Structure 1
Amino acid sequence: MRGTGSTRVVIYYRVPEGSADALISGYHASSAALKGTSGLLGNELLRNAHDPRRYAVLSEWEDLAAFQTWEAAKDHRGQTAPVREFVDPDPRPFAVYEVVASYSA
């Protein structure tokens, strides 16, 4: 077990029937815009196995400060604009988690 100090951010999305391709395209566009962002270690687009209309993006950051610095920057909204229309506000549009322990295989 190890604590890493890194931070994970989960953003939830819900797509209308037939709009999955638009979300996936938007994810790729946002990821390209985010390339080279200081402190961002990577991200993944995830589809809910029980409800194919629900998606999430899981991003990994060096630490909470790196995420907060990016979130406060003026470029933040432009970089995420391609997927913003699909954000699911129910129950919350996103969550931020600090890693306190982890295991590797």
Structure 2
Amino acid sequence: MAVMDEHRTTRVERGPRHLRVIFKLRIRDGSEARFLDSYAKIRHDVAEVDGYLGDQLCQSATDPRDWVITSEWASHAHFLRWEAGADHRALAAPLMECVTARESLRYHVRFTTQAGCRPDADQVLVGGES
């Protein structure tokens, strides 16, 4: 990996890439509390799934019914195994009862930038992905 610019930016040059999944959701009027409760109940179970690296639950700043769950996976294959499994559907069912529309987007992570670290622009990191 190479560090670029003035922030800590790593670029995946070869090998498997992490996968970022962006799950856009629109929830039913009046179901926010149930949605949050359902998410809180399953999040630690999801954290135990092979290849799962983490997620964030985000609510729109302009429309309280619009939500996004972003998750990161060690590889596309890890996510596909999780998504195809019965455990996934069973855990997600309470969340989906609150949802009126959904869209799943998948992206390979190519760069990661972290604020606060200003290494030399030509510094090279050796090893795995960030």
Scaled by the length of structure 1, the TM-score of the pair is 0.85
Partner of 1:94: 104
Question: 1:71: which partner in 2?
Answer: 83
Deviations 1:43-101 (A, max 9, x none): 11100111111111111111111101111222110121121123453xx5211111122
Distance 2:98 2:24 in 1: 8
Query: What do the CA deviations read for 1:13-66 (whole angstroms, capped 9, x no partner)?
Result: 212332211111111122133131100011111001111111111111111111
Q: Which one has a larger percent helix, Structure 1 or Structure 2?
A: 1
The equivalences for 1:1-105 within 5 A come to 1=9, 2-3=11-12, 5-89=17-101, 93-105=103-115
Contiguous gaps of at least 5 residues in structure 2: 1-8, 116-130
Q: Which has the larger radius of gyration?
A: 2
- Aligned-partner SS, 1:103: strand
For residue 113 of structure 2, give the secondary structure of its aligned residue in structure 1: coil
Higher normalized strand content (fraction of residues): 2
Overall identity of the aligned pairs, in %: 33
Runs of 4+ in 1 over 6 A off after TM superposition: none
Query: Is there any run of 5+ residues in structure 1 with no aligned partner, and where?
Result: none
Q: Which amino acid aligns with 2:73?
A: W
Aligned-CA RMSD value: 1.8
Distance 2:108 2:92 in 1: 22
CA distance in 2, matches of 1:10, 1:88: 17
TM-score using structure 2 length: 0.70
Contact 2:19/2:106 (<8 A) preserved = yes
Give the number of equivalent residue pairs: 103
